[in-house]
Chains A and B, each alone.
Chain A
């Protein structure tokens, strides 16, 4: 039904979005790449000079880089572990018939809608604070020494906070997937005497594999860029104990004014994210064909 006329119209309709996204992608990224080869400090304007790969060398060689890379991976891995396992368990539970399903569902999803700065500050102050926090009060009531979460175990605390925000996402997607599971097949298996465990392993898990992959990939994209939670809780500290890659780049470029070094770090973060994106895009692309 597409005529030459409508093709031209279609092209015109698509072009604003394409041009804008193209500019958004190419201009700042091109600038970052350019800056990453310059010795460029905001405190010394007009002193920019070409340094080749020096910025990359110094960014990677600093001890903070290794720590930040490890923290980034631990943060992504830790949150994924909690949210995927917790999400499967919760989805299986919420998929059962019980009273007040709608209300419980709403309660479980709610944390996803809480803005990162609110969730981080609420956990930091109202729960993890060693003097006035809820956990400190509980510890004291049990006769225990209150634990100072954010200075004793900063990264783990941030993992808990971020996992709380993302658990609803995993649960919701896995629950949606579970609900499309073929009930008749399930009942047939049950009548043939398949145990709960066997039904779970041979019917439920294969059915969920795709959704779990989607959850893992999408969360990874977002978790690689966790920033606000770190900024308002630990500022990356103590030392570099909770500094991840985005936070390190922020520190270097906007707090230390080292534009060149920060840009090199930004490019490294882009490369890291692209490795994940590559796999995600293939998954979504396959889905588009079906």
Chain B
């Protein structure tokens, strides 16, 4: 903390950090700007884009031409549905492993994690054929199950690391005071577990919303979430910058907002507790 250089150093750090931060964020800022332009203006040079007029036209157009609302709704249903389903399965499991650990708890956790290491492409063929034969291709139900299963290991792990932090002494104290199992769970454990469950919920919604392997392979239209819908803009005739920008802005906005709330949990969830 050398005082003489600190003012100059802080100024340099401030400028460097803001410049780099801006450059990294720029592509996102740019699609937001383009989404408020006409198709004609959106392909002009950057300066001409900035000085041209603003319009909400693209947003209306995206909905009119392609039923954007349906795909948005699919994304909501798939990410929320798979997350809730995963939580229902994972909460009891993580709970038991955290509070009643046995000899094999550690092996079990590691094994669960190992299922996450299997590359999706290794089971692409049978999954596709199973879905085809069961009539589940392009159905929300089928995809919800797949998204639940691929994120289940992360959900169990995250919950486990949170539950592990709830001190066992509190339970013993409550038991001494004559609390039965029911009130123990209801009044002591649950309130302490809620923040961890909420964080897990948040992170898993983000992961499910952005999942882009199974959503692309197993849906075409009716059940297509936003990942698949946006992918349809890759065909040459779909090359409309303003509309692509409007569709993209709406697709990423909810997750950007959720993501900003979950920065800390992100590290923990994605490193399986290895970095906190």
> Which A positions have Cβ atoms within 8 angstroms of B?
1-2, 6-7, 9-11, 13-14, 16-18, 20-21, 24-25, 27-29, 31-32, 35, 90, 93-94, 96-101, 103-119, 121-127, 132, 134, 137-138, 140-141, 164, 167-169, 172-173, 176-177, 187, 190, 210-211, 214, 218, 221, 224-225, 227-228, 231-233, 245-246, 249-250, 253-254, 259, 262-263, 265-267, 269-270, 272-274, 276-277, 280-281, 283-285, 287-289
Stretch from B58-66, B149-157, B186-194 forming part of the interface with A? B149-157
Residues of the B chain whose Cβ atoms lie less than 8 Å from the Cβ of A10: 96-97, 99-100, 102
Binary flags per residue of B252-266, CB closer than 8 Å to A gives 1, else 0: 100110111001101
The minimal Cβ–Cβ distance linking A113 to chain B, given in whole angstroms, is: 4
CA distance A94 to B17 in the complex (A): 7
The minimal Cβ–Cβ distance linking B101 to chain A, given in whole angstroms, is: 8
Residues of the B chain whose Cβ atoms lie less than 8 Å from the Cβ of A125: 239, 241, 244
Given contacts A122-B248, A225-B119, A98 and B13 within 8 Å (CB-CB): yes
Query: Is B182 close to A, CB under 8 A?
Result: no
A100–B31 CB distance below 8 A: no
Residues of the A chain whose Cβ atoms lie less than 8 Å from the Cβ of B89: 16-17, 20
Residues of the B chain whose Cβ atoms lie less than 8 Å from the Cβ of A233: 234
The minimal Cβ–Cβ distance linking B85 to chain A, given in whole angstroms, is: 10
Residues of the B chain whose Cβ atoms lie less than 8 Å from the Cβ of A122: 27, 30-31, 244-245, 248
Given contacts A20-B149, A93-B20, A284-B110, A121 and B248 within 8 Å (CB-CB): yes
Residues of the B chain whose Cβ atoms lie less than 8 Å from the Cβ of A218: 270-271
A266–B125 CB distance below 8 A: yes
Given contacts A132-B241, A176-B267, A283 and B274 within 8 Å (CB-CB): yes
B274–A17 CB distance below 8 A: no
B210–A249 CB distance below 8 A: no
Query: Is B197 close to A, CB under 8 A?
Result: no
CA distance A107 to B123 in the complex (A): 36
Residue of B nearest to A7 (CB): B100
A227–B216 CB distance below 8 A: yes
Query: Is B198 close to A, CB under 8 A?
Result: no
Contact of A6 among B14, B100, B274 (CB under 8 A): B100
CA distance A246 to B213 in the complex (A): 10
Extra A-B contacts (18), CB below 8 Å, given A110-B256, A249-B124, A270-B118? A14-B92, A17-B93, A20-B89, A93-B16, A110-B28, A115-B210, A115-B226, A115-B230, A115-B251, A115-B252, A116-B210, A122-B245, A125-B241, A168-B24, A227-B121, A269-B121, A285-B106, A285-B110
Residues of the B chain whose Cβ atoms lie less than 8 Å from the Cβ of A106: 260
A126–B241 CB distance below 8 A: yes
Residues of the B chain whose Cβ atoms lie less than 8 Å from the Cβ of A94: 17
A262–B125 CB distance below 8 A: yes
A121–B234 CB distance below 8 A: yes
CA distance A108 to B18 in the complex (A): 10
